[in-house]
Amino acid sequence: MTDVYDNEVFFAEYSAMDRSMKGLDGAPEWPQYQALLPELHGLNVLDLGCGMGWFSRWAIDQGAKSSRGLDNSHNMLVRAKEMTNHEDISYEHVNLDQVSFGGDMKNKYDLVHSSLVLHYLVNLDDLVKQVHNVLVPGGTFSFCIEHPIFTSTYHQDCIVDDKSGNTYWSLSYYPNEGTRKIHWLNSDVEKQHRTVTTYMNVLLTNGFEVTGFDEWFGSREMLASFGKYGVRESPMFLLMSAVKK
Amino acid sequence: MTDVYDNEVFFAEYSAMDRSMKGLDGAPEWPQYQALLPELHGLNVLDLGCGMGWFSRWAIDQGAKSSRGLDNSHNMLVRAKEMTNHEDISYEHVNLDQVSFGGDMKNKYDLVHSSLVLHYLVNLDDLVKQVHNVLVPGGTFSFCIEHPIFTSTYHQDCIVDDKSGNTYWSLSYYPNEGTRKIHWLNSDVEKQHRTVTTYMNVLLTNGFEVTGFDEWFGSREMLASFGKYGVRESPMFLLMSAVKK
């Protein structure tokens, strides 16, 4: 299946978002996420779903030794090579749902990072096993995903209680893991809903110690600007970090 | 303030619940919770909010060396001494929000357990520090709480979407930690809402490694029997275990 980021309608809209135009500073969860990261100086970084490469480039600018950015979208990789390239970064086309890191990658990376990508993948357990393999002992795996409370619903919208007039995030089907088909940026997008338990256990059962956990809510003002996603104080992103034991 | 379990109306209703009449087998989350526990044989156990003592007695029956059950409710302790007493168990009246474990309790317990109690406490960080102090290195702190998704709302009820006719758990105010006043078992009950992040971080920042994480949802059939709490596949309990580093 073509990556949704290679759908031209979707990509045009995505490219106009703050997180595309302004990079990390345009991502509202960035300050909280940054607090989960280790000191970057001298690290070899693997960026799973690197998009336009904002994180890979930031890592190099922080003193990381190298960064390898992988993405399934040709559009994204073209943009990365235009906007964030550096001699210590390599950008490669990889489908993370089918990736098989070779033996030469064992114990090679100090930090594996992934921003808003894992909730698109079907084979998460397999990928986490591979992340464990490519990390050095004590290395960090950090990621940000859409929060399971956010991905749980099938329609991804608020409802208004006619009795009180209040707007609520209509939580439903939280335990029903699997595909959610939503309409976002004028396109049909498929994502994978998993519970918080599943994200915790895919780490705990694959040799990681969970070291960081945070949820991003946004201010009322910011949420209001999100239109229908401006959920009433409901968490939108889940941020985690873990260390290879 | 008098413990709500010493309110006679509340206690009579609570006493009629399956988890009071049938003990651990009447607690729907028990099979999942049990999976987070260490082997009990030979352990010294501290039971925070022991209630009628079902867990303390079960621990002794599993071969635990001793169990010390603490509770703030006189009604509960009377019932514990009637129903679950054993020469290797001591039951004591303690307000867990004001407890100060003495130096003689340092490194004394192998397992500290707490079932459906922590969400009533105001001083959680202080208690967790004390739990860390009384555990032996490598000892386990395990607990079950009402899930933050469940405690977040102020009215604790479902709402019906008039458009679709569907029933939803109306998530609201999840980030607003603090007191929730609800009506349960014909009584006014106060509990403390905290996010999942806060429960994770109170462990991570106080010297624990999180080793177990689970959420209890219940089957549709079971939830239907809960009346208005029969939330549509929304998590009701959060179960965690952690080890003293």
Q: Which residue of B has its CA nearest to A200?
A: B213
The rounded distance, in Å, linking the Cα atoms of A124 and A94 is 15
CA distance B112 to B219: 29
Q: How many other C-beta atoms lie within 10 A of the C-beta of residue A243?
A: 19
C-alpha A77: how far from chain center: 16
With 80 as the cut, is the pLDDT of residue B144 above it? Answer: yes
CA distance A87 to A18: 26
Q: How confident is the model at residue A228 (pLDDT cuts 50, 70, 90)?
A: low
- Whether residue A174 and residue B214 make contact (CB cut-off 8 A), yes or no, is no
pLDDT value at B223 more than 70: no
Which of B87, B195, B203, B96 is closest to B140 using CA atoms? B203
What is the mean predicted confidence (pLDDT) over B65-88? 96
Res A234: pLDDT: 76
**By mean pLDDT, which of A54-63, A123-132, A180-189 is the weakest?**
A180-189
pLDDT band at B167 (very low <50, low <70, confident <90, very high): low
* Spatial CB neighbours of A16, under 8 Å, sequence gap ≥ 6: none
Q: Is B31 exposed, middle or buried (0-12, 13-18, 19+ CB in 10 A)?
A: exposed
Q: What is the pLDDT of residue B225?
A: 63
Q: In whole numbers, what is the pLDDT of chain A averaged over residues?
A: 90
B83-102: per-residue pLDDT in tens?
A: 999 999 999 999 999 999 98
Instruction: Say how many Å lie between the first and final Cα of chain B, rounded.
Output: 36
User: B93-130 as b/e, with b when 16 or more CB fall inside 10 Å?
Assistant: ebebeeeebeeeeeebbbbbbbbbbbbbbeebebbbeb
**H or E element in which residue A147 lies:** none
User: Where is pLDDT greater, at A88 or A26?
Assistant: A88
Residue B216: how many CA atoms within 13 Å on its side-chain side? 25
Nearest to A233 among B170, B173, B235 (CB): B173
Q: CB of B149 within 8 Å of any CB in chain A?
A: yes
Q: Does A235 touch chain B (CB under 8 A)?
A: yes
Which pLDDT score is estimated for A172?
72
Token pair 């925070």: residue: B48
- Average pLDDT on B115-131 reads 97
Q: Tell me what pLDDT residue B21 has.
A: 87
In angstroms, the CA A194 to CA A242 distance is 18
Greater confidence (B173 vs A25) lies with A25
Give the pLDDT band (50/70/90) at residue B55. Answer: very high
A229, pLDDT greater than 70: no
User: Residue A101: how many CB atoms within 10 A of its CB?
Assistant: 18
Is the CB of residue A168 less than 8 Å away from at least one CB of chain B?
Answer: yes
Under an 8 A CB cutoff, do A168 and B168 touch? yes
* Segment among A82-86, A96-100, B11-15, B210-214 with least mean pLDDT: B11-15
Specify the pLDDT at position B2. 76
**What band does B32 get if pLDDT is binned at 50, 70 and 90?**
very high
CB within 8 Å: B169 and A173:
no
pLDDT band at residue B245, thresholds of 50, 70 and 90? very high
Mutate one of A33, A196, A203 to test the B interface: name it (highest B CB count within 10 A): A196
Prediction pTM value:
0.94
pLDDT tens digit sequence for A104-158: 899 999 999 999 999 999 999 999 999 999 999 999 999 999 999 889 887 666 6
> Residue A97: CA atoms inside 13 Å, Cβ hemisphere, count?
14
